[in-house]
Structure 1
Amino acid sequence: MKLVSFATSQIPEPHLGIVRDNEVLDVDLAGRALQLDVPDQMLDLIESYERYQPALQVILSRAGSRRFSEVQAFSEVGAAHALSEVRLAAPIPRPRKNIFCLAVNYSEHAKETGNLREHQGQEPEIPVFFTKAPTSVNGPYGEIEIDPQVSSEIDWEVELGVIIGKKGKNISESDALSYVFGYTVINDVTARDLQKQHKQFFKGKSLDGSAPMGPWIITADEISDPHNLELRLRVNGETKQEGNTGSMIFNINQALAVLSRGMTLEPGDILATGTPSGVGFSRTPPQFLAPGDLMEAEVEGIGVLRNPIVQVGS
Structure 2
Amino acid sequence: MKLATFQVDDGISWGAVTDKGIIDLGKKSGITDIKQGLKEGVRHLEEFLSGDTDWSAADVKFLPPILDSSHIIGIGLNTKSHFEETAELMGREPGVYPKFPRLFMRSPFSYVGHQQPMLVPSTSSYLDYEGEIAIIIGKEGRNIDKNNALEHIGGYSCFNDGSIRDYQMHSNQVTAGKNFASSGAFGPWLLTADEVSDPNNLSLTTRVNGEVRQRLEMDDLIFSFAELISYISQIFPLQVGDVILTGSPEGVGAISNRWLQQGDTVEVTIPQIGTLCNPIQQDN
Q: Could you state the TM-score of these two structures normalised by the residue count of structure 2?
A: 0.94
- 1:295 CA drift (Å): 0.8
Q: Does the 8 A contact of 2:265 with 2:277 survive in 1?
A: yes
The answer on 1:49 being equivalent to 2:22 is no
Q: What does residue range 273-312 of structure 1 map to in structure 2 within 5 Å?
A: 273-283=246-256, 286-312=257-283
Aligned residue identity for 1:308: P
- Among 80, 105, 121, which residue is 2:54 paired with? 80
Structure 2 residues without counterparts, runs of 5 or longer: none
- Among 49, 57, 67, which residue is 1:60 paired with? 49
The answer on 1:154 being equivalent to 2:127 is yes
Aligned residue identity for 1:147: P
Count of residue correspondences:
283
1:211, 1:7 → 2: CA distance?
19
Partner of 1:263: 236
- 1:6 CA drift (Å): 1.2
The answer on 1:105 being equivalent to 2:82 is no
Q: What does residue range 74-153 of structure 1 map to in structure 2 within 5 Å?
A: 80-97=54-71, 99-121=72-94, 122-148=96-122, 150-153=123-126
Partner of 2:203: 230
Look up the SS of the partner of 1:266 in the other structure. coil
Partner of 2:20: 22
Partner of 2:186: 213
Taking a change above 3 Å as real, the CA distance of residues 120 and 289 of structure 1, as seen in their structure-2 partners, is farther
Q: Does the 8 A contact of 2:118 with 2:184 survive in 1?
A: no
2:224, 2:44 → 1: CA distance?
33
Look up the SS of the partner of 1:161 in the other structure. strand
Look up the SS of the partner of 2:198 in the other structure. coil
2:85, 2:46 → 1: CA distance?
46
Deviation by residue 1:60-80 (Cα, 9 ceiling, x = unmatched): 13x2xxxxxxx5xxxxxxx61
Aligned residue identity for 1:24: I
Structure 1 residues without counterparts, runs of 5 or longer: 32-37, 64-70, 72-78
1:247, 1:295 → 2: CA distance?
22
Q: What does residue range 167-206 of structure 1 map to in structure 2 within 5 Å?
A: 167-206=140-179
1:231, 1:307 → 2: CA distance?
16
The answer on 1:6 being equivalent to 2:6 is yes
1:54, 1:254 → 2: CA distance?
27
Deviation by residue 1:31-72 (Cα, 9 ceiling, x = unmatched): 3xxxxxx312122222x223xx344111013x2xxxxxxx5x
- 1:29 CA drift (Å): 2.5
Q: Does the 8 A contact of 2:121 with 2:180 survive in 1?
A: no
1:265, 1:257 → 2: CA distance?
10
- 1:262 CA drift (Å): 4.5
Query: How big is the alpha-carbon RMSD for the aligned residues of Structure 1 and Structure 2?
Result: 1.6
Look up the SS of the partner of 2:234 in the other structure. coil
Percent identity reads 33
1:199, 1:233 → 2: CA distance?
27
The answer on 1:249 being equivalent to 2:222 is yes
Deviation by residue 1:100-158 (Cα, 9 ceiling, x = unmatched): 0111111111110011224343321221111111211310111011123x211110100
